[in-house]
Structure 1
């Protein structure tokens, strides 16, 4: 808050004393009269906001400096508050040129001071300016808060949009990965199926080619006993071959090209012929009624090697066929062996 310099005391002029008093029953020695003094900016010095102005004519203003000081302080205070509230630059304070301080308190309110047209109430900032400054500051703060809120909302929306885009991208990537996996699985299944079909066709072609090289041992037959069938009729406790029941004298043929390694009587097997193939597999033809080949003879697929009979341990005419890979004593299932060569008994 700005302060005004104190007014120096006016020179004492005792010759102009008169009986007029101010605020007392009788004249006091310190009431004057004094010579007329007009305050100015050059003649006022600051004394912590308090000002004293001497009465100029006729007495009657002993404490006028106190009244003037209070008015100036109030005006300066209003200016300071307006500056603090409105954030405006400091307002300079000036005092008007007054012809006489005593004239401010005369009853004639229509009379204007002679020295200056500037009224004392013009010092400082008006209430309208203060209100306008406060309103401007509030508007600035409001705009700043709204801008921050909008910025935060934009950040939230941007983050939400980024999250949504990331989620959409992740979903698209997952969907693409699933679609790729499904396509790969479908392609693998199709390839597997195609490979299986190709393998099957290749096997069928191989078997068809083998079927040209292999043939069943007889025709017009009936399968009566299979490999592994249990029963007391066989010394091993189970059937060791495959039985083709057919009338006596039915022709027996070489299943594949090979060499006759045995031809003759074999006890419980009756008349038996053994045909050994090139890979060492032995084919046993048992219970024949007659033998048409001899040991060491080379035969081809389909050549007649004997006839169906009922010799040995039998209950009726049939061919008992056994398969012994590598010439081993224990045979294998003739049905499976014939199927592997494209033949279905």
Structure 2
């Protein structure tokens, strides 16, 4: 790898930051480089290493420019006076034109003199306050970066405020819709409850009316029907099991009463039979108009004859203890038109009577 030979240690001239002439604390001499003082650099890049006033002056210029930029600010709303940097003529000739540097010419004063001794005009450049402006800002009339930034911040704040207002409005609308739905549901529930109450009341009224009609019907029936005995005690009911009955169970309803107690016709009908009937003792059978038959058994005496028409409450015989009995009583049986025996208790109740 090639190496560079060190250059001659030639003292560098001091550079004044206050003007072209040295001040009272500094002095410098003109340095004229020659081939002996500046040797060519061998190596890959072959770049001559300059030492002396030019390099130091460039460094000073860079520091001055940075200081000037820092002094000017990047987007300040308050303009600041330009900063002047004085350089020797020999150095200033090799410096770039400050006018070609955007935003610098307005801050740094060009103090170099032209050949005629006149003062060169300052390079016109855009102020630093205009840096950072977008095309949209320019179209809106913004000329200052700080004002443009402020405008963008305000615009973002307005957008955020509008977004928050839109979200609040949407939330309020959603809450209102939810409240409306809840109110509608409550109204629907109240209407359904009212309809259910009205239906229940109608059903209750209908049931009451039906009950009343049934009571009236039974009352009318009761007027045409009568219990067979005025004073009695129920001793055996329909369907009871026992060895005393040939069928193995009781087939009627027993009204216990003293011998000789009058027996009355339960309903109007025709006497079908009246006489001895074996285990039933003396029995009277009355056939009703619908074909049903009423059997009055164990009588002590008979008061009607076959074919006789009787009405409700007419006396047809007397309580006795004839036939297969253990004591005086009326054994009552009810047979429907088909001939099947049914429970006398239920049949009497269906006619409005309550034994």
Instruction: Please state which band the TM-score falls in when normalised by the shorter chain.
Output: 0.5 to 0.7
Counterpart of 1:34?
Answer: none
CA–CA distance in structure 2, aligned partners of residues 79 and 238 of structure 1: 136
Counterpart of 2:208?
Answer: 197
2:147 is the counterpart of 1:136: yes
1:334 corresponds, among 344, 347, 353, to: 344
Work out the number of aligned pairs and report it: 259
2:309 is the counterpart of 1:307: no
CA contact (8 A) 1:289 1:307 kept: yes
Partner SS, residue 206 of structure 1: helix
CA contact (8 A) 2:105 2:122 kept: no
What does residue range 118-157 of structure 1 map to in structure 2 within 5 Å? 119-120=121-122, 123-128=124-129, 130=131, 133-157=144-168
Partner SS, residue 259 of structure 1: strand
CA–CA distance in structure 2, aligned partners of residues 233 and 101 of structure 1: 164
2:152 is the counterpart of 1:103: no
CA–CA distance in structure 1, aligned partners of residues 161 and 298 of structure 2: 107
CA-CA distance at 1:293 after TM superposition: 1.0
Counterpart of 2:234?
Answer: 223
2:181 is the counterpart of 1:167: no
Distance 1:101 1:221, change over 3 A: farther
Counterpart of 2:100?
Answer: 73
Counterpart of 2:24?
Answer: none
Q: What is the alpha-carbon root mean square deviation over aligned residues?
A: 3.0
CA-CA distance at 1:133 after TM superposition: 1.9
Distance 1:79 1:120, change over 3 A: closer
CA-CA distance at 1:129 after TM superposition: 5.3
CA contact (8 A) 2:129 2:145 kept: no
CA contact (8 A) 2:98 2:105 kept: no
Mark the runs of 5 or more structure 2 residues left unpaired by the alignment: 1-29, 34-87, 107-112, 133-142
CA-CA distance at 1:137 after TM superposition: 2.2
CA–CA distance in structure 2, aligned partners of residues 260 and 315 of structure 1: 27
Counterpart of 1:212?
Answer: 223
What does residue range 264-303 of structure 1 map to in structure 2 within 5 Å? 264-303=275-314
**1:240-263 deviation digits (Å, cap 9, x = unpaired):** 111111111111111111111111
**1:59-91 deviation digits (Å, cap 9, x = unpaired):** x97897755x512212x45489xxxxxxxxxxx
CA-CA distance at 1:145 after TM superposition: 1.9
CA contact (8 A) 2:271 2:286 kept: yes
1:344 corresponds, among 332, 336, 354, to: 354
CA contact (8 A) 2:284 2:295 kept: yes
CA-CA distance at 1:127 after TM superposition: 3.8
Structure with higher helix content: 1
CA contact (8 A) 1:259 1:296 kept: yes
Counterpart of 1:181?
Answer: 192
CA–CA distance in structure 2, aligned partners of residues 79 and 169 of structure 1: 70
CA contact (8 A) 1:262 1:273 kept: yes
CA contact (8 A) 1:215 1:255 kept: yes
Partner SS, residue 255 of structure 1: coil
Counterpart of 2:26?
Answer: none
CA–CA distance in structure 2, aligned partners of residues 299 and 103 of structure 1: 166
CA–CA distance in structure 2, aligned partners of residues 327 and 271 of structure 1: 24
Distance 1:150 1:79, change over 3 A: farther
148-157 vs 286-295, which moves further: 148-157
CA–CA distance in structure 1, aligned partners of residues 296 and 204 of structure 2: 41
CA–CA distance in structure 2, aligned partners of residues 327 and 309 of structure 1: 29
